[in-house]
Amino acid sequence: MNVITTEFPGLIILEPKVFEDSRGYFFESYNNSTFEQAGISNKFVQDNQSKSSYGVLRGLHYQLDPFAQAKLVRVVQGKVLDVAVDLRQGSPTYKKWHGEILSADNKKQMFIPRGFAHGFLVLSETAEFLYKCDNFYSREHDGGIRLDDPEIGIDWQVAKEHLIISDKDVKLPYLQNATANFQFNS
In the predicted structure, residue 186 carries a pLDDT above the cut 80: no
Q: Which of the residues are catalytic?
A: 61, 131
pLDDT digits (tens, 9 = 90+) for 101-137: 999 999 999 999 999 999 999 999 999 999 999 999 9
pLDDT in tens, 24-43: 999 999 999 999 999 999 99
Report residue 185's pLDDT band, with 50, 70 and 90 as the boundaries: confident
Residues 6 or more apart in contact with residue 83 via CB below 8 angstroms = 59, 60, 97, 98, 99, 100, 118, 119, 120, 121, 154, 156
Phi, psi of 162 (to 5 degrees): -100, 0
The gap from C-alpha 140 to its chain's centroid, in whole angstroms, comes to: 21
Task: Set out the domains of the chain in order of their start, with CATH numbers.
Answer: 43-177 (2.60.120.10)
